Amino acid sequence: AQTVTQSQPEMSVQEAETVTLSCTYDTSESNYYLFWYKQPPSRQMILVIRQEAYKQQNATENRFSVNFQKAAKSFSLKISDSQLGDTAMYFCAFMTRNAGGTSYGKLTFGQGTILTVHP
Amino acid sequence: DTEVTQTPKHLVMGMTNKKSLKCEQHMGHRAMYWYKQKAKKPPELMFVYSYEKLSINESVPSRFSPECPNSSLLNLHLHALQPEDSALYLCASSQGLQTYEQYFGPGTRLTVT
């Protein structure tokens, strides 16, 4: 079974500054996806960024980038130029690509990090 | 249209009531999911449908009964719920189980009295 750990229950950052959210995971799988999902106070969960485990290059999406360290099983999210609209709960999540496993199709979430961006 | 809709937004029900939650998507996705989410906690997977067939049941109590009438619709029938079942119920969809991105609906806030 997979586990995902987010060690920072809450974080805060000033507008326009940079913040990094941590995530570690444990798995015996070699082929998987990692995600960061964002859930603002309005509740709708949206995908921020994804990383395929077989890709060495770190994924980026505009102000969002990841630092993927496969050997260390670490997957942190960096938010640059933080904006008030980035205030949300952020979930790190794992999904196996192994179609034969019992976890196929399941997202395993971390406990989440509440990020508050201050003006 | 990249939207998953859920109705109702809020629901209050007694422990003897029967109610249903509805989820709809028109993205042609063939996998649909029900999650339960408590405040400040991650979503917990309840059920997964793939091509309108129940693929995963995470040992959910029988007072929750899912139904997938067609590829666009997913229902969750509720009966004899307990106060601890009060939560946000999220629906999600994806192109298939093998597809990485799940699109989430806004959720139904359920209160059991």
pLDDT, tens digit, for every residue of A31-70?
899 999 999 987 789 999 999 998 889 999 999 999 999 9
- Whole-number pLDDT of residue B12: 96
Give percent of chain B with pLDDT exceeding 90. 83
Using the predicted structure, report yes or no on whether residue B1 has a pLDDT greater than 60.
no
Burial of A57 (0-12, 13-18, 19+ CB in 10 A): exposed
Question: What is the reported pLDDT for B98?
Answer: 73
Whether residues A105 and B97 touch (CB distance < 8 A) is answered with yes
Kindly state the DSSP code that residue A67 receives in the 8-state scheme.
E
| CA end-to-end distance (rounded Å), chain B | 36
| Amino acid at site A46 | I
d(CA B12, CA B17): 10
pLDDT digits 0-9 by tens, A83-113:
999 999 999 999 987 766 666 778 999 999 9
- Identify the residue whose tokens are 């990249």: B2
- Cβ neighbours of B104 in A, within 8 Å: 44-46
Can you read off the two tokens belonging to residue A1?
């079974």
Distance separating alpha carbons of residues B104 and B25, to the nearest angstrom: 10
- Say yes or no to pLDDT of B61 above 60: yes
Q: How far apart are CA B87 and CA B13, in angstroms?
A: 12
Residues of B in contact with A95 (CB under 8 A): 100
Mean pLDDT of all residues belonging to chain B: 93
Mean pLDDT of B48-60: 92
Distance, in Å, from the CA atom of A39 to the CA atom of A43, rounded to the nearest integer, reads: 6
Q: How far is A16 from chain B (nearest CA, A)?
A: 26
Contact yes or no for A44 and B56 at CB 8 A: no
B101 or B68, greater pLDDT:
B68
What per-residue confidence (pLDDT) applies to A101? 62
How far away is chain A from the Cα of B95, in angstroms, using its nearest Cα?
Answer: 11
Write out chain A residues lying below 8 Å of B56, CB-based. Answer: 105-106
Q: Please tell me the distance in Å from B97's CA to the nearest CA on chain A.
A: 5
- Provide the token pair at B113: 């009295």
* Distance in angstroms between the alpha carbons of the first and the last residue of chain A: 41
Q: Do the Cβ atoms of A46 and B104 come within 8 Å?
A: yes
Amino acid letter for position B27: M
